[in-house]
Each structure stands twice: as C-alpha cells, then as structure tokens.
C-alpha cells in the first residue's frame, strides 16, 4: 500500500508540474503574437458622388421588360438590382466614365454597359428609364 501511495503521489506531482508550466507569463504582452491581430483603420474608397457629374442623370429606376430586370440608381452612387422577380437581387456601386457605365456588384462581378441615347445597353439587356 505504501508503494502504491508513493506512485500516486509522484504521478499527481508530475501532473501538477506539467500543468503549471502551461500557465501564462506574469509579464504583460507588449506586442501581439503571431496569432493575434491588430486593429487598424483600413483606407476606404468612398462611393462616387454622382450629384457632381453626369452620373446624376442615371439616378432613378431603369428597366428591361423582356429581361425582367430593374436597376435602381441612387444619389449616393449605389444601386440595387431586381431580377426575374427577385427583389434586391444584387447591390453595389455604379460609375459613369464618358459613355461607359460600370455596375460594380458586392458579389465581386462588374457589368459594363454603354449609354446610347436614352438607354443603357448591357449584355443582359437594354435598360430604359421607368416612366
């Protein structure tokens, strides 16, 4: 029995020693470790302000009845697409460079079309202003 008690005491002592070594240091961490991340303000590109240029002419609702496609252009440079009955199908920002219109979606895709008279022509279809 005495030998058994000595063995149990030795195992418990060894376990405490190992677990004690796993504890945190008493020193404060001055720098983040490799697994920690620091928070910094990342630079952001503001949405274009179409009220100051020709893009303000796009503000409003445009549609292609055949394609069942509607694009709502907002003053703040954002847009919302409705497609085949799905409201808010895609959102993003829009840019107008001369006659080139770019719909930069939050899904990572960019659709580029052209302004032709009173229409916006894209691969998907031709948008005309909703009356």
| pLDDT tens track for 13-37 | 555 555 556 656 555 555 545 554 4
pLDDT at 125 over 70: yes
Q: Taking the model in full, what pTM does it have?
A: 0.59
Q: Tens digits of per-residue pLDDT, 60-111? A: 999 999 999 999 999 999 999 999 999 999 999 999 999 999 999 999 999 9
Residue 104 in any domain: the answer is yes
- Sign of torsion, CA 109 114 115 121? negative
**Structural domain tally of the chain?**
1
- 62-to-18, 19, 36, 120 alpha-carbon distances in Å: 70, 67, 47, 9
In a domain, 82, yes or no: yes
In a domain? residue 8: no
d(CA 91, CA 89): 7
> 110, 116 in Cβ contact below 8 A?
no
> pLDDT for 32-67, tens place per residue?
455 544 455 544 555 544 445 677 889 999 999 999
Q: Tell me, what's the pLDDT at 118?
A: 93
> Residue 43: helix, strand or coil by DSSP?
coil
pLDDT on residue 7: 64
Residue 88 lies in a domain: yes
Measured in degrees and rounded to the nearest 5, phi and psi for residue 61 equal -105, 135
Task: Give SS3 for 35.
Answer: coil
Q: What is the mean pLDDT of residues 3-19?
A: 61
Q: What is the predicted pLDDT for the residue at 80?
A: 97
**Structural domain range at position 66:** 50-129
Give residue 37's pLDDT: 46
Residue 2: inside a domain: no
pLDDT of residue 57: 87
């Amino acid at each position: 029995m005495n030998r058994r008690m000595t063995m149990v005491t030795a195992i418990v002592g060894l376990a405490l020693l190992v677990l004690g070594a796993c504890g945190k240091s008493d020193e404060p961490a001055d720098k983040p470790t490799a697994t920690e991340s620091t928070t910094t303000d990342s630079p952001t590109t503001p949405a274009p302000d179409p009220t100051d240029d020709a893009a303000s002419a796009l503000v409003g609702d445009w549609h292609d009845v055949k394609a069942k496609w509607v694009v709502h252009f907002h003053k703040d440079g954002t847009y919302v697409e409705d497609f085949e009955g799905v409201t808010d199908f895609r959102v993003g920002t829009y840019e107008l460079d001369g006659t080139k219109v770019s719909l930069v979606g939050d899904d990572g895709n960019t659709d580029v079309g052209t302004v032709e008279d009173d229409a916006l022509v894209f691969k998907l279809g031709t948008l005309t202003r909703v009356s």
